[in-house]
């Protein structure tokens, strides 16, 4: 799918201008024409699945630190998490994971526009229900199938390339190489959580939902951001924060932010920022390992820049999920289960690379 054309700065439909008696109505009509992504309800499900369906971690998996590597505050927190989840006992013995669950997604209601910004509202919050299944082979092979509202999204990694298939875009690879599935970091796979956060920086303490937490920060560096950028879309930052309970040691909240600068030839630069926060709940033991069995995510997609005169245009969405079943060491699962689609095999790595989180590819 091609990129959206640059947006004009003023309403350009003269007939609509003559027929509209109020400036507010004219402005809203213009917004509908310029931002069909945010106003077209037929597009809501595509936005939900593009943003919430199968986003990736900012960083690749790093080896889990040695039990003696506790030289920093961050490593003390990771060791506490490893002990709290019991995942040390399965490290090296568990080669694969299988999980199934249910999701409920919706465009979030807005109370109205805040001062200095244009907030897109929805008259009612209609949930879309669905289910998903995840297969994973340690360390970097995974496959997820997500079906919501009759639409199916499939994404995977064979250890060399990550890819995604949607009904509206077909199959395409992800820029920036193989990274873990964010859904696995939401308390589903403690071993991967520990590995991903092993190079994190300690970022202080914060209270989340009444829980005192230690905060660890991950940031994609300049080289990683450059690998995920192209001539018109520059990834400026991708950061993730993990909030680990001081009381239990468990990961209770995950927050990340992705900022992209878009500039087509002859146009002014525009910025898209996707932010997402996920709370993890209902930790239960599976073969002696603590796994989060439910949670809730909220996300916002903001567009801002010189051409958005009234401030950023924002749409918000949310997801609730539950885990039905988790199995370690899945019988019969092999590397053949993670072979990419034929069209991806023909094109990677030189062609068809896109940024999954790019808002220009939602619809």
Q: Is the CB of residue 249 less than 8 Å from the CB of residue 214?
A: no
Residue 259, both tokens: 């900022």
Residue 124: pLDDT over 90: no
Check residue 192 and give its pLDDT.
92
**Percent of the chain whose predicted confidence (pLDDT) is above 90:** 53
> For residue 125, how far is the Cα from the chain centroid?
21
CA 224, CA 208: separation in Å to the nearest integer?
Answer: 30
Length of the chain: 363
Q: Look up residue 10 and give its DSSP letter.
A: S
Residue 74: pLDDT over 80: yes
Residue 195, both tokens: 């590995």
- Half-sphere exposure at residue 143, Cβ-oriented, CA atoms within 13 angstroms: 14
Residue 93, both tokens: 């013995």
Least-confidence region, from 162-171, 259-268, 326-335? 259-268
* Residue 66: exposure state from Cβ atoms within 10 A (0-12, 13-18, ≥19): exposed
Least-confidence region, from 170-174, 232-236, 279-283, 307-311? 307-311
Over residues 211-251, the pLDDT tens digits come to 999 999 999 999 999 999 988 889 999 999 999 999 999 99
Provide the strand spans (E) within the chain. Answer: 96-107, 118-119, 128-137, 141-148, 151-158, 162-166, 170-174, 201-208, 211-219, 233-245, 251-262, 270-286, 289-305, 313-328, 353-354
The candidate with the shortest Cα–Cα distance to 107, out of 258, 300, 275, is 300
Residue 113: pLDDT over 70: no
The candidate with the shortest Cα–Cα distance to 163, out of 152, 153, 150, 148, is 153
Provide the strand spans (E) within 188-250. Answer: 201-208, 211-219, 233-245
As a whole number, mean pLDDT of residues 147-175 equals 92
CA 170, CA 196: separation in Å to the nearest integer?
Answer: 29
Coil/strand/helix, residue 223? helix
CA 322, CA 283: separation in Å to the nearest integer?
Answer: 11
Sign of CA dihedral 244, 250, 251, 253: negative
Beta bridge partners of 170: 166
Contacts of 251 (CB under 8 A, 6+ apart): 81, 185, 187, 193, 242, 243, 244, 245, 280, 292
Residue 114, both tokens: 């805040």
Q: Is the CB of residue 78 less than 8 Å from the CB of residue 65?
A: yes
Check residue 268 and give its pLDDT.
84
- Half-sphere exposure at residue 360, Cβ-oriented, CA atoms within 13 angstroms: 20
CA 187, CA 184: separation in Å to the nearest integer?
Answer: 7
More reliable by pLDDT, 274 or 120: 274
Q: Is the CB of residue 131 less than 8 Å from the CB of residue 101?
A: yes
Average confidence score pLDDT of the chain: 81
CA 151, CA 45: separation in Å to the nearest integer?
Answer: 8
CA 226, CA 324: separation in Å to the nearest integer?
Answer: 38
Over residues 3-49, the pLDDT tens digits come to 333 333 333 343 444 444 454 454 444 444 444 444 455 568 888 99
CA 52, CA 183: separation in Å to the nearest integer?
Answer: 9
């Amino acid at each position: 799918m091609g990129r959206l054309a640059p947006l004009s700065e003023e309403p350009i439909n003269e007939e609509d201008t003559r027929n509209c008696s109020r400036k507010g109505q004219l402005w809203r009509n213009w917004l509908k024409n310029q931002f069909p992504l945010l106003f077209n309800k037929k597009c809501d499900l595509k936005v939900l699945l593009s943003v919430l369906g199968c986003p990736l971690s900012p960083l690749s998996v790093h080896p889990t630190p040695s039990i003696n590597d506790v030289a920093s505050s961050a490593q003390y927190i990771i060791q506490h998490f490893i002990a709290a989840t019991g995942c040390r006992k399965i490290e090296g013995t568990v080669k694969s994971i299988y999980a199934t669950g249910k999701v409920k997604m919706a465009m979030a209601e807005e109370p109205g526009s805040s001062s200095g910004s244009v907030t897109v509202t929805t008259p009612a919050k209609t949930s879309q229900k669905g289910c998903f299944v995840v297969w994973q082979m340690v360390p970097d092979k995974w496959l997820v199938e997500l079906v919501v509202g009759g639409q199916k999204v499939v994404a995977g990694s064979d250890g060399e390339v990550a890819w995604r298939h949607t009904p509206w875009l077909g199959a395409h690879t992800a820029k920036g190489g193989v990274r873990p599935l964010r859904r696995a970091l939401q308390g589903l796979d403690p071993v991967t959580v520990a590995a991903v956060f092993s190079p994190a920086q300690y970022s202080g303490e914060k209270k989340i939902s009444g829980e005192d937490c230690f905060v660890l920060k991950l940031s994609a560096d300049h080289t990683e951001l450059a690998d995920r950028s192209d001539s018109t879309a520059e990834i400026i930052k991708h950061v993730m924060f993990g909030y680990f309970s001081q009381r239990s040691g468990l990961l209770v909240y995950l927050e990340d932010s992705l900022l992209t600068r878009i500039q087509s030839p002859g146009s002014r630069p525009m910025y898209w920022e996707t932010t997402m926060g996920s709370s993890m709940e209902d930790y239960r033991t599976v073969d002696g390992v603590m796994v989060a069995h439910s949670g809730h995510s909220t996300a916002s997609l903001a567009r801002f820049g010189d051409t958005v005169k009234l401030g950023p245009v924002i749409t918000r969405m949310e997801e609730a999920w539950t885990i039905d079943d988790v199995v370690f060491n899945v019988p019969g699962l092999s590397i053949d289960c993670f072979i990419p689609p034929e069209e991806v095999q023909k094109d990677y790595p030189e062609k068809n690379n896109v940024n999954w989180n790019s808002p220009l590819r939602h619809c």
